[in-house]
Amino acid sequence: MKPALQLKLGQSLTLTPQLRQAIRLLQLSSMELEAEITEAIESNPLLERPEEAEPDAAASHDSPAEERSDAATGDEAEDYPLDTPDWDLEDYGSRANAPGSEGDEERENTLADTGQDLHDHLLWQLNLTPMSPRDHAIAAALIDAIGEDGYLGETLDALRDGLHPDLIVELDEIEAVLHRIQRFDPLGVGARSLSECLLVQLSPSDTTDVVVLARRLAQEHLEPLAKLGPERLAAQLGVDTDTMNEAVQLLRSLDPRPGSAYGSAPPDYITPDAYVTRHQDTWQVRLGPGCRPRLGINRHYESLIGVAGKSDTAYLRGQLQEARWLIKSLETRADTVLRVAQCIVRHQSGFLDYGPEAMRPLVLREVAEELELHESTISRVTTRKYLHTPRGTFEFKHFFSSSLATADGGSASSTAIQAMIRRLIEQENPRKPLSDASLVKELEREGVTVARRTVAKYREAMGLASSNERQRLE
């Protein structure tokens, strides 16, 4: 075969180092970006931060927008009230540990300061409790099986099998050690059921009528109490109504989730990338100080280029080029984030004005077409970027949702439908909660056509229980 040369014309996409850097910076969160910049400044002598602080940087967090955000957050809390103090086994724990109760609030603040989780707290008490090495090993296995809510997550049979063959134990031994752990702080930890948790917290030595009845209710009649109510159950059991009410109040004062006050992980802190404020009846967007970092070129090292030796000059030229690329990429990233945030605010101004039910359907493609960017670029911008609004701080992706058809031929956002479902459930009669089928009919009355299985999916995604589990006393 005779060799020959041929010329062909074609187009291909090549990712230059500058483009790779811009893409990588675009998908970083604000904290990751700060770490990236710090590393770049430490490794590149041509990069530096200007000494003078940005004029608006200090005021960005203490601006009137921040105050308006706090006020709006309070209004939002009125739109979504906390559960009323009804007897509800499902919501019982959230009320028992609700902020505002003096003892629980002080306890949670103390735990937050120490950063100690439930397992560490229990192991600390275990090490201070005199036990034989055998019982200590059993107790350590039990503590390891306790979940974040304070309940034992495994059966005693499974724990016994887990200790084998290092330790051969009987179920009675595990049960005895478990009873000792249940007396640790918080009282009732390691319980296997709500009934057992409440019984541990009720003093066995108190034989007054109220405590005896409370123990009887916790052991045998929790579900009938939730379904019938104190008065009907008192009549059914032949108990005085006043004694029944006092026993119910005693049960309500107990903690059904003893481990809920202990955090298993430190909280995550969010720095907004953009802020939304209202100015003369229009919504305006500005970037946070961390989204547009100020970087400059070190003029001293720049002046050494051409004066220093050949190898040093080549090194400084390379570092200068990298510094300019980084500054340019950061400017491009900031402009792109700002444009996307402004586009989101334009489309979702109804949410800012009226709340979640006014959220309109929005997909990445719409924003990409409007800004003349690739859809993958919009996806990178909306990931781990946060927008601070008067209604709270949300990830950019929160404002994107699919659409569902309405009765008038229009469309509704899935986020708005979830807000409507939450509102209907919060306004329902607690004695006769709305089933998924009833929620479908209520939504149809408001002009939204949605299938029952879709309602069930949205309800479960929001962590709302079924109608049977939501039933509670008035």
Per-residue model confidence as pLDDT tens digits over 291-341: 888 899 999 988 888 788 888 889 999 999 999 999 999 999 999 999 999
Does residue 65 surpass a pLDDT of 80? no
Does residue 71 surpass a pLDDT of 80? no
Q: Which amino acid is at 348?
A: Q
The string over 238-276, giving b where at least 16 C-beta atoms fall within 10 Å of a residue's C-beta and e elsewhere, is: ebeeebbebbbebbeebbbbbbbbbbeeeeeeebbbbbb
pLDDT score recorded for residue 310: 85
pTM: 0.59
Strand partners, 393: 388
CA 335/CA 22 separation, integer angstroms: 12
pLDDT score recorded for residue 226: 80
Supply φ then ψ for residue 192, to 5 degrees.
-100, -5
Torsion on CA atoms 106, 108, 109, 112, rounded to nearest 10: 160
Does residue 285 surpass a pLDDT of 90? yes
Burial class (CB in 10 A: 0-12, 13-18, 19+), 11: exposed
Domains detected in the chain: 116-252 (no CATH), 403-470 (1.10.10.60)
Average pLDDT over residues 145-161: 90
- The residue that leads in pLDDT, 18 or 11, is 18
Average model confidence (pLDDT) across the chain: 81
Lowest mean pLDDT among 105-109, 141-145, 257-261: 105-109
- The residue that leads in pLDDT, 302 or 14, is 302
Per-residue pLDDT reduced to its tens digit, 341-368: 999 999 999 999 998 888 888 999 999 9
Nearest in space to 30 (alpha carbons), one of 341, 352, 351, 384: 384
Does residue 107 surpass a pLDDT of 70? no
Please state, as a whole number, how many other Cβ atoms lie within 10 Å of the Cβ of residue 151.
21
| Alpha-carbon Rg for the chain in angstroms | 31
Would you state the structure tokens that stand for residue 369, as one six-digit string? 């077409």
Burial class (CB in 10 A: 0-12, 13-18, 19+), 394: middle
Does residue 405 surpass a pLDDT of 80? no
209: left (phi over 0), alpha (psi -120 to 50) or beta: alpha
Nearest in space to 195 (alpha carbons), one of 219, 171, 165: 219
Per-residue pLDDT reduced to its tens digit, 225-263: 887 888 888 999 999 999 999 999 999 899 988 888 776
CA 373/CA 376 separation, integer angstroms: 8
State how far the alpha carbon of 65 is from the alpha carbons of 62, 278, 334, 397, in Å. 8, 8, 21, 22
Q: Which amino acid is at 370?
A: E
pLDDT score recorded for residue 110: 46
